[in-house]
Structure 1
Amino acid sequence: MAHIAVIGAGITGVTTAWSLLGRGHDVTLFDKNRYAAMETSFANGGQLSASNAEVWNHWSNVVKGIKWMMRSDAPLKFSLAPSWHKYSWMAEFLASIPHHDRNTVATTRMAIAAREHLFAMARDAGIDFDLERRGILHVYADRTGFEHAANVNRLLARGGLMREAVSPADIRALEPALKGEFFGGFYTQGDSTGDIHKFSVGLADASVKRGAIFVNEAAITRLSRDQGGVAVAFDHRGSAHDARFDAVVICAGTASRALAAQLGDRVNIYPVKGYSITVDLADAASREAAPWMSLLDDDAKIVTSRLGADRFRVAGTAEFAGFNRDIRAERIAPLVKWCERHFPAMRTEHVTPWAGLRPMMPNMMPKVGAGRAPGVYYNTGHGHLGWTLSAATADMIAARINADHAGRTTMGSVAMAAE
């Protein structure tokens, strides 16, 4: 078997490492942070949602985005500041609109396959990540949104997913805590929610126990490929190091584009900022008023998850502003107001805001496969569905590497110990 370097210890990196270990490979996991899952995999919306598999490449979203450009509180915010990367990415996004149906069906199939892989990982690694298998309820305020979702249902069905149409009365029965008027909705029983950070940290720890090396606080300075394998140069807490591997898997989120360029590949990922708040359900009345059913409000572009008894996660918005991680008050306020409107008895006195950069490809499909050079692989660019798809794409890339490296002699391990 091979010695593989996995760059990035977010959800795609740790699931890739685990899948490679399960096939008998030696794995060294690198991350620039002190702990696993400290960036995009830290505080997302929590949904494991095959029902949200529709890709964004649709003219209706383009029209909405144009209408929202002048609103600071709009679900989608597009900065007009000049950027070749942003505008070229957007051109490719528009060019992918004709492939909307095909890519939605393919994403649905991946999302369904990911379910059992993820549950098996959690079971085998012994991870408690506040899993709730209550399904996900999509709600729509008007007929237009509901009818678009009904059209999407046909694509989801082609991918193997069935969503149940529900009336306003059904919505109230499924989640009595939800207040407000809705035209209708769709319920997906097989979907679930959980804490991505707890899962990722748990799987990283389990991978180390299984034999992986985790090199944290490691900034990758150079990647290169030659006939002997892949060389990884990195700075570890102020000291320069070099290591050689049989192969490398880039799972570095928004940093993947720059790393891929060093290896001769174009992986056109753009950072799309998303925000979340975590509401501390500190009193009994708030715990009672907060929902247990996971929700997706399609008009507000907001998703929710109940993370155990004492936390309620609310996430949404998409902001095209480059590598800007600032948490802006005017983007957090709509999430808090949405909570107060739909769950008025739930206190929002203690709210923790967060922002992360989703790594998005223009066609909304993850980059999973080999690069140009032998021994170079990618599992990145999952956009808003990294939590949903990662367990399946990790299995896909591990299977590919297993086939490519079967019977080869393994290189020596990285010449340093992880701390």
Structure 2
Amino acid sequence: MAAIIVIGAGITGVTTAYALLQRGHSVTIVERRRYPGMETSYANGGQLSASNAEVWNSWSTILKGLRWMLRPDAPLLMNPRPGLHKYSWLAEFCGQIRNYKQNTLQTTRLAIASREHLLAMAQRENIAFDFEPRGILHLYYDKPSFERAARANRLLGEGGLERHAVTKSELLAIEPALDADAGYHAGFFTPSDSTGDIHKFTRGLAEACVRLGGVLRLEADVGQMHADDRGVSVRVRDVSDRGEGDEVLSADGVVICAGVASRRLARMLGDRVNIYPVKGYSITVGLGDEAGRRAAPTVSLLDEDAKIVTSRLGRDRFRVAGTAEFNGENRDIRADRIAPLVAWAERLFPGMPTGEVVPWAGLRPMTPSMLPRVGPGGRKSVFYNTGHGHLGWTLSAATAQLAAEAVDQRFGRPG
């Protein structure tokens, strides 16, 4: 049995910890927040979406970003202010355009594999997380965009995803709450995709980790780390009101699952993990009465033109999320970025109330290839499971297994 420290109690951290505990390792999870799942795993779009596995590395994405640069409500917005990390990251992003096909295929296969692992965790630990296996419906408003999607769909199919085209009348039959006059051309439907509340799942799985013998160190900020082939030491500082000072934790190995902080932590360990924080926004709409609940959709949606996704979270909540903002580690919730989400919801679902709207912003940890960094680092005691971008919820259960396998290969699997 190896003693492993997992840094980060978001979705990738707790799934990794759970996979390690299932394999018989001793696990301590270190998290600087007061509760698990309080950063990027708090209020994302909620989609478990293999159908959204196409990577963004294309010249069309670059051109759209340039056209949208001066629009504050643009789906993709980049702060043009000079920044070495931002522009070097973008240069590597462009360099990955040649790997668009293979990276999309790999992401699709990971997403499909992740479904089975995630549902097995939820069933085994009896986690209630507003799970809805109703599929995901992609919307298109004109023939050219639909035809571009058809080309991408063939690639998703090559990766093993079953996703089929639907006519305007068929998409309205799949989700009757959609406004029939919103100008749809056609769509694609993926019946095997699903949705759920990532925050509820993360909290529930963290509790399961504790039941299995894991240690959850909350309000513990990582100061310094040292790693060599014999093990790792992590200095943590108590950031609670108690202020109990620093403590050094020692273990056989460490797995970095720290979202946008992973880049800084990797540097301490002598590794380069090129993650950029790509901000996304969401609103959670409260559906206060029966009329509001009937007016809101139950099938998850992805509007390809607006780059907006939705999820129905139980009876009383509707999540709308979207946009990508390149603005460093800025967590401000901007009114001009929230307003398009509200306007979109009101346009497609005019009968749905929007008087109770809770805005949120989170930082997606994104690599230039849009593939997560999973596996060993430069030292034998260091491992990574980070950089999942906008698909952390979708990919986490599969990458957790890959990270745990890497630990097993280094230390052996307990008998």
TM-score normalised to structure 1 length: 0.97
Q: Name 2:70's counterpart in structure 1.
A: 70
Q: Which of these residues, 297, 300, 304, is aligned with residue 298 of structure 1?
A: 304
- The total of aligned residue pairs comes to 409
SS at match of 1:96: helix
Q: Name 2:347's counterpart in structure 1.
A: 341
After alignment, is 225-234 or 159-168 more displaced?
225-234
Q: Name 1:115's counterpart in structure 2.
A: 115
Does the aligned pair in 2 maintain the 1:15–1:391 contact within 8 Å?
Answer: yes
TM-score normalised to structure 2 length: 0.97
Percent identity among equivalent residues?
61
Q: Name 2:22's counterpart in structure 1.
A: 22
**In structure 2, distance between residues paired with 1:268 and 1:49:** 24
Q: Which of these residues, 273, 281, 288, is aligned with residue 282 of structure 1?
A: 288
Q: Which of these residues, 400, 411, 415, is aligned with residue 406 of structure 2?
A: 400
Amino acid at match of 2:97: I
**In structure 2, distance between residues paired with 1:188 and 1:223:** 44
Matches within 5 A, 1:50-65: 50-65=50-65
CA offsets 1:56-107 (integer angstroms, 9 cap, x no match): 0011111111111111111011001111000000000000001001100000
Does the aligned pair in 2 maintain the 1:6–1:250 contact within 8 Å?
Answer: yes
Q: Name 1:234's counterpart in structure 2.
A: 236
Q: Name 2:261's counterpart in structure 1.
A: 255
CA offsets 1:166-205 (integer angstroms, 9 cap, x no match): 0000011000001122111000000000000000000001
Q: Which runs of structure 1 show a deviation greater than 3 angstroms over 4 or more consecutive aligned residues?
A: none
Does the aligned pair in 1 maintain the 2:11–2:396 contact within 8 Å?
Answer: yes
Q: Name 2:193's counterpart in structure 1.
A: 191
SS at match of 1:259: helix
SS at match of 1:161: coil
Does the aligned pair in 2 maintain the 1:168–1:181 contact within 8 Å?
Answer: no
SS at match of 2:223: strand
Amino acid at match of 1:366: P
SS at match of 1:185: strand
Q: Is 2:278 the counterpart of 1:272?
A: yes
Q: Name 2:361's counterpart in structure 1.
A: 355
Does the aligned pair in 1 maintain the 2:25–2:414 contact within 8 Å?
Answer: no
Q: Name 1:132's counterpart in structure 2.
A: 132
Q: Name 1:412's counterpart in structure 2.
A: none
Q: Name 1:415's counterpart in structure 2.
A: none
Amino acid at match of 1:228: R
Post-superposition shift, 1:361?
0.1
CA-atom RMSD, angstroms? 1.0
Q: Name 1:416's counterpart in structure 2.
A: none
**In structure 1, distance between residues paired with 2:412 and 2:61:** 45
Return 5+ residue gaps in structure 2 as ranges.
none
Cα distance change of structure 1 residues 407 and 310 upon mapping to structure 2, 3 Å threshold: closer
Q: Name 2:141's counterpart in structure 1.
A: 141
SS at match of 1:202: helix
**In structure 1, distance between residues paired with 2:143 and 2:407:** 47
